[in-house]
Amino acid sequence: MVNSKDIITYALFFIGILITLLIPVPIKEEYRLLIITLVIFFFLVMVLSRFDERLKNKDKNIGDLKL
């Protein structure tokens, strides 16, 4: 399963890279914050959906073992 420390590490790394790459781009700050927020949201959705898949697989394996 995904370790919570790994998720936090990846999230902070990804956010840091994203902010570093978006600072020199000449766009309004509102749009910059919107882009950062959307990318963080999609990152969280991907990580949580993967976590959900693994939980479902583990639950299915446990159900198979009970039978």
Q: Quote the number of domains for the chain.
A: 1
d(CA 7, CA 19) in angstroms, rounded, equals: 18
Domain residues for 33? Answer: 4-66
Q: What integer pLDDT is reported at residue 65 of this predicted model?
A: 86
Helix ranges (H only) for 1-67 are 4-22, 29-66
d(CA 45, CA 52) in angstroms, rounded, equals: 10
pTM: 0.58
Q: What integer pLDDT is reported at residue 4 of this predicted model?
A: 67
Q: What integer pLDDT is reported at residue 2 of this predicted model?
A: 58
d(CA 35, CA 43) in angstroms, rounded, equals: 12
Q: What is the pLDDT of residues 34-64, one digit of tens each?
A: 887 887 888 788 778 888 888 888 889 988 8
